[in-house]
Structure 1
């Protein structure tokens, strides 16, 4: 099972290690073997033979349930619900005087957690849930800030965000946009470049240097539009990873990793839409 997607390659390697001992659904051959071919793994019974037990009665090997689309949908709805509840709680409970510190603190902690999850070789549901809680605080604080300046902007941004998400899902389902090798390479390079630009811009801002990328001027609007387009297209990569992950038979818990990818894209898209709407509304 080979794929050009580096994320799927990493997850596939982790899944292969988990199944290396031949743990698979009862009555099925060891991972990577075909019925009637090859030799059984060391210490494992041959294909079709029962596993011995201490009582002498045969037993099926431990089953590793494969990931399904339904698993990803359930996990995605779960993390979105956790993020929404966390955002609402932060909005209601954190005083206005602490909005700034809470916003910055949650952003930094979320960034670290996001990198840990992204580069981890194992799916970790606890980390994904923790990330959803932290990002909920971040989303709640930034939403509260913009809502105090522009009434109704949060509802507009939420509708626009999910509208774009479902549009991209339809386009992917209809194969209007496909995650080809070239598309994947370009997207990874562009997202890496945007991340580097935003990080450099943040560091310069801390030293009092204003590049104009996050202002309401023409440069800021163009940069936000670019980020919105790239964030929207990133869902194509997510959908492809999910589809390929199901085809490869990744273990069920990797649906948490898929849900994490969608959550990251939705939050990024929401923040950029929120920022662009604030630019277009101006100071009125």
Structure 2
């Protein structure tokens, strides 16, 4: 979000009404309140709520579609679509990031479709439906994961609004470094599993449980960064189409959080 601004000469009304700290350069200073500066009206909270709602709606629809394909069509096809969803979602995020398509409705909704396929399939895998048949625990686990995800989201929104945790450039740097560290560990664990069969970070043991808790914590902290970036963009008068980019960022974090919570619940169920 911090690298979006390309417009020049906007009127900055940003997050520091009493004056910016010395040496601070607001990354949203290119956005002005006047629609003429961007060719679009300024973004509002309603825009973010509406676009995020549509994005999550698409994710839910495609998740149910993949679940239905498994139940009534072909389980093998559902697993293939899960892999396609994972790869397609990753590629779409990379396109949005490096292709400067952050505010594109099409990119965000395509991502939502891919992630829906992934979420539907991964829910089947983590709850044991694919390999063990449908069981009563599966629906309970999925419901718990959904409620847990919503609970963390609302909790972090409350934390952000009350200012209990301040989102600063240092906070974002530390969070980014931690997420990159987790990514390196995941890739290393994947390579270890491929070549040795050992899977310490995802085998359901104590280390795997601790690692999932760390991932859940980082996903929760990511919400604070998402909220802060959206808040600053609104204050800076970013064009309304950028709400699609905010929705994309929130959807990525929500999907990550949901999968980690569901994975953690699957560990306890297996144990």
Bin of the TM-score, shorter chain as denominator length: 0.7 to 0.9
Distance in 1, matches of 2:241 and 2:96, equals 13
The TM-score, its normalising length taken from structure 1, stands at 0.78
Query: How far off its partner does 1:97 sit?
Result: 2.6
- Check the 8 A contact 1:128/1:257 in 2, yes or no: yes
Greater RCO (CA < 8 Å, at least 6 residues apart): 2
- Check the 8 A contact 1:161/1:266 in 2, yes or no: yes
Structure 2 partner of 1:39? none
Correspondence list, 1:84-95, <5 A: 84-94=60-70, 95=74
Structure 2 partner of 1:269? 257
Distance in 1, matches of 2:82 and 2:39, equals 43
Determine which structure has more spread, i.e. the larger CA radius of gyration: 1
Structure 2 partner of 1:111? 90
Distance in 1, matches of 2:117 and 2:236, equals 35
Q: Name which of 124, 131, 137 aligns with 1:144.
A: 124
Query: How far off its partner does 1:207 sit?
Result: 3.0
State the SS of the aligned residue for 1:177.
Answer: coil
The TM-score, its normalising length taken from structure 2, stands at 0.81
Structure 1 partner of 2:32? none
Q: Name which of 153, 163, 167 aligns with 2:151.
A: 163
- Check the 8 A contact 2:58/2:112 in 1, yes or no: yes
- Runs of 4+ that moved beyond 4 A: 60-63
How many pairs does the alignment contain?
236
Structure 2 partner of 1:47? none
CA RMSD of aligned residues (A): 2.0
Distance in 2, matches of 1:63 and 1:101, equals 42
Structure 2 partner of 1:52? none
**Bigger shift: 197-206 or 68-77?**
197-206
Distance in 1, matches of 2:88 and 2:229, equals 26
Structure 2 partner of 1:188? 176
Distance in 2, matches of 1:12 and 1:144, equals 40
